[in-house]
Amino acid sequence: MIGAPRKGSDEIAQVEEHLDELTRLADTAGATVIGRTYQRIESPSPNFYLGQGKVDELKDVLAGAGATLVLFDEGLSPVQGVNLEKHLGLRVMDRTEVILDIFATRARSHEARLQVELAQLEYLLPRLTRMWTHLSRIRGGIGLRGPGETQLETDRRAIRRKIGILKKRLDDVADHRANQRRGRRDLPSAALVGYTNAGKSSLLKALSGDDVFVEDRLFATLDTLTREVDVGEGYRFRVTDTVGFIRKLPHHLVASFRATLEEAKEADLLLHVIDAAHPQWEEQVQVVEAVMEEMGLEQKRVVYVLNKADLLTDASAFLAQVRERYPHAVLTSTVSAAGAAALRYALRSSAQALRPVAQIRVPVGDGKLLAGLHRDAEVLEQVQTDGVVVVTARIEARLLGKLRRDGVEVVLGVDA
């Protein structure tokens, strides 16, 4: 296992943490790590990423250790991958390929499998030449192609065609999800986002009480899961778990999971789950925020959820420190039943702000407005008196604003 941090960029502890994470990725993928090293570089070399001397040294070390696979903690270009495999005489996988391998074994739903296949093909397309080096000695005459090149072009066309088909299918999935959202009962919604293994699925299980798949491994689940959660005082939230993020996540992987991450785009609230006990939690927050910005989510309302509080030595002091930067952060733990109480309260407060209970006075003859309230709000009670229909409903703040601008009489602060 090999890292290649830039000179002057990362501290030794941070480099070791990155390699620790790659070790966990390797373990999740089913590999056993027998050794690790790194070389600080000014910039990646076009041939090997590392320096020639380091590659020569690695060849002897790998042969002596009996290694069968080399993992790089960086993304390798097709040329770098080919050259390293030739020089080292071993299979070489970069970080992206390891993550894709995990995704392939973890995808359970039809949607997740489509997304993983798309990501794999987009990764494979520029690297097809590596698969055909054994035919490189076969040449055609002038104006003709050798069989290796012909097959390579055939494979490229087939992969491009398959990529187009998968993108169309995922567009259909996105449309289907949009239709599902429109057909759901009108509830405020939240999406759990965060670094992989921060405990998003465990939190969803704690909030909902349902049997949610949980495992202490990176990318334990890739499938979107939505549950209705009772947050108290008659309020409910629709909470969705999404795929975890990780540092050095290639752009095409994020793009492949666009359909799944649409749930985060459509949510009223993002719950950014953080592993508070992790020594590099602040770096992980930056990674997640960078991906969220790439997805256009930086303007969303965010509640920072500091999970795994049971592993902190002084949780209260930690929360006080974090709230200097994130004033509304909450501490959670999934070890006890009460561990998610602070998050439940935060969701209830958000529900009250997003869907306040109001009385709307509607003239009896205004059937269009009445129908709109039944469609767009959660009607709790409807009473007709003196030619006016008084509708008590939980209703979105933005819709309340529109009603007021239209001159409709609205009274807030009504008991549900």
Question: Is residue 213 scored above 70 in pLDDT?
Answer: no
How confident is the model at residue 110, as a pLDDT?
81
In a domain, 98, yes or no: no
Tell me: do 170 and 189 sit in the same domain: no
Q: Which parts of 184-224 fold into alpha helices (H)?
A: 200-208
Mean pLDDT lowest among 102-111, 153-162, 358-367: 102-111
Do 32 and 82 belong together in one domain? yes
CATH of the domain at 257: 3.40.50.300
215 and 271 co-located in one domain: yes
Its domain, for residue 322, covers 185-353
Whichever domain contains 387, its CATH number is: 3.30.70
Round to whole Å and give the CA distance between 326 and 285: 12
Domain termination residue (choose one: 93, 120, 139):
93
Q: Which of 25-29, 225-229, 232-236 has the weakest average pLDDT?
A: 232-236
Tell me, yes or no, whether 129 lies in a domain.
Answer: yes
- Does residue 281 share a domain with residue 170? no
How many CB atoms lie under 10 A from the CB of residue 11?
A: 9
pLDDT of 340 > 60? The answer is yes
Angstrom distances, CA of residue 259 to CA of 112, 114, 224, 266, 363:
9, 10, 10, 11, 42
Task: Give the helix ranges, DSSP H, for 189-306.
Answer: 200-208, 251-256, 258-266, 281-294
Mean pLDDT of the chain: 83
- In which band, very low, low, confident or very high, does the pLDDT at 414 lie, cut at 50, 70 and 90? low
Phi-psi region of 306 (alpha: psi -120 to 50; beta: other; left: phi over 0): beta
**Predicted confidence (pLDDT) at residue 334 exceeds the cutoff of 70:** yes
Q: Are residues 127 and 265 in the same domain?
A: no
The mean pLDDT value for 292-299 works out to 82
The alpha-carbon radius of gyration of the chain (Å, integer) is: 27
Give the least confident one: 53-62, 79-88, 112-121, 251-260.
251-260
Residue 184: what pLDDT? 60
Give yes or no: residues 232 and 338 share one domain: yes
Domain C-terminal end among 67, 93, 119: 93
Contact 197, 220 (CB under 8 A): yes
Domain count of the fold of the chain:
4
Report pLDDT digits (tens) over 189-210: 899 999 988 889 899 989 988 7
How many angstroms separate the CA atoms of 239 and 226, rounded?
A: 6
Res 323: pLDDT: 92
pLDDT over threshold 60, residue 168:
yes
Q: Is the pLDDT of residue 148 over 60?
A: no
Are 192 and 158 part of one and the same domain?
no
Same domain, 245 and 207: yes
Examine the fold and report which residue of 145, 175, 205 is the final residue of a domain before the chain moves on: 175
Q: Is 188 exposed, middle or buried (0-12, 13-18, 19+ CB in 10 A)?
A: buried
Q: 404 lies in a domain?
A: yes
Residue 100 lies in a domain: no
What's the pLDDT at 411? 85
- Tell me, yes or no, whether 121 and 76 share the same domain: no
User: Is the CB of residue 192 less than 8 Å from the CB of residue 154?
Assistant: no
Length of the chain: 416
Distance of alpha carbon 250 from alpha carbon 95, whole angstroms: 10
Task: Identify the CATH number of the domain in which residue 27 sits.
Answer: 3.40.50.11060
Q: What pLDDT score does 87 carry?
A: 92
Token pair, residue 188, equals 């405020």
- Inform me whether the pLDDT recorded for 123 exceeds 60: yes
Looking at the fold, whether 393 and 285 belong to one and the same domain comes out as no
pLDDT at 264 over 60: yes
Q: Which residues contact 286 (CB under 8 A, 6 or more apart)?
A: none
Higher per-residue confidence, 114 vs 142 = 114
Check whether residue 320 and residue 257 sit in a common domain. Answer: yes
pTM of the model: 0.78
Q: Is the pLDDT of residue 384 over 50?
A: yes
Based on the fold, state whether residues 329 and 191 are members of the same structural domain: yes
Is residue 180 in a domain? no
